[in-house]
Chains A and B, each alone.
Chain A
C-alpha cells in the first residue's frame, strides 16, 4: 500500500452482518471508496455493518463528517452501525464528537460481532 492510500475490505460475516475494514486514512476524500464498500456490504438481509478500524492510520474532521453520512445511510436501511479496533486516541475522538451516541463501539471484533448477532 502506498503512503497516503486507503484500502477498504468488505467481508460478509453472515447473512445479516458484514464488516468493512479500513486500512489507512479516513478523510472526506475517502467517500467514494467507503460508500462503494457499503453498497457491497449491504443487501436486504443485512442488519448490521461493523467497521474495523484496526488499520486506521489517520482521520481528520472531514473523516468524521463522512462517518456521519455513512451512519445516515445505514440507519435509513434500518441497519445498525458498530465499530471495533479504535485506538484510545480515536475512541476519544468518537466521544468528543458524540458519534459514540449512535455507533456502538466495542473493544474487540468478537464483542462487535456478538453485538451484531453475527
Chain B
C-alpha cells in the first residue's frame, strides 16, 4: 500500500509483466499512433477483387463485444512451435503477409497483397454448414511486430475483437489467437451451441495447424480454452438481425444466381 503526498490515501497494486506468459505477451516497444487504425464511423472498401462480394461491409459500422447480442466468450487457441528456429516477430511477419493462405479450404480472405496494416479492410467468404457462405469482412485495428488485431463489422456472425500474437515461452515460439466475442444477433446466438462454437474452434485449429506446418512443425496439438465471461444476453441489440450477413448473403445468392456462380467460379 502506498500513499502519495498530497493525495487521498489509496491502495496500490504493482503489475510487473517481466516475462511473457501464455496469455500475456509483453509489448516490445512504446506504442506508436501508427500501430492503431484511425477511428472510422463507417467502413469504406477500396478496390474489390473479382471473386469477392462486398455486400455486408461498405457502409457498416464496426461492432465489438459491447455492441453484440449473445453471451460474451473469451476463446483462446494456442500452439507451440517446438523445434522451429523462428522468432515471434518472424512468425507475425509471415502471418501478416500470408494470412488467408493458412485458412481452411473453402474459406477466402481478400486482404492486401503485401501485409496487413492498421486501417485496412479485408473482405471474407466464410464457409458455413449446409454449403452456405457468409460474406463479410474485418478491419485491422492494431498491428505491431508481435501481434495484430481485427474488429468485425455489423452483420458479421460475431461482434468481436480478435488478437493474433506470438511470443516465446521457455525459448519455444508460441502462436496464439484470442477472441473476445458475442454472437451478433439472436439467430447467430441460437446457432452457437449447435454449430457455431464447433465451427469456429475447428476453423482456428486448422489455421494454427497450417501455420505450424509452414514452420516445419507437424502433428502438434492446438490448445483451446473457452470461457464464458458474461452469460447475459444484451436484448437491446436483438435488432442487429436486420444486418445479418448470412441472411443477406443467402438472399443475394438466391436473387443473383448468375453472379453467384461467376463469383464462385473465380474464387
Contact = CB atoms under 8 A, between A and B. Distances in A.
Interface in B223-259: 229-230, 232
Nearest to B179: A65
Given A9-B12, A69-B74, A72-B230, A29 B31 contact: no
B25 A62 contact: yes
A115 interface: no
Contact of A9 (B10, B18, B31, B36): B10
Given A76-B230, A96-B38, A62 B10 contact: no
A54 interface: no
A27 B24 contact: yes
A97 B16 contact: no
Interface residues of A, number: 49
Contacts of A61: 141-142, 147-149, 161, 163
Interface residues of B, number: 54
B10 A98 contact: no
A89 B61 CA distance: 20
Interface stretch (B64-72, B89-97, B102-110, B186-194): B64-72
Contacts of B8: 11-13
9 contacts: A6-B15, A6-B16, A10-B12, A29-B15, A96-B37, A96-B39, A97-B62, A99-B66, A101-B67
Interface of B: 2, 4, 7-18, 20-21, 23-27, 30-31, 33, 35-40, 61-67, 72, 74, 141-142, 144, 147-149, 151, 161, 163, 165, 178, 180, 229-230, 232
Q: Which 8 A-B pairs have the closest CB atoms?
A: A29-B24, A33-B15, A61-B149, A11-B10, A29-B17, A6-B15, A61-B142, A95-B39
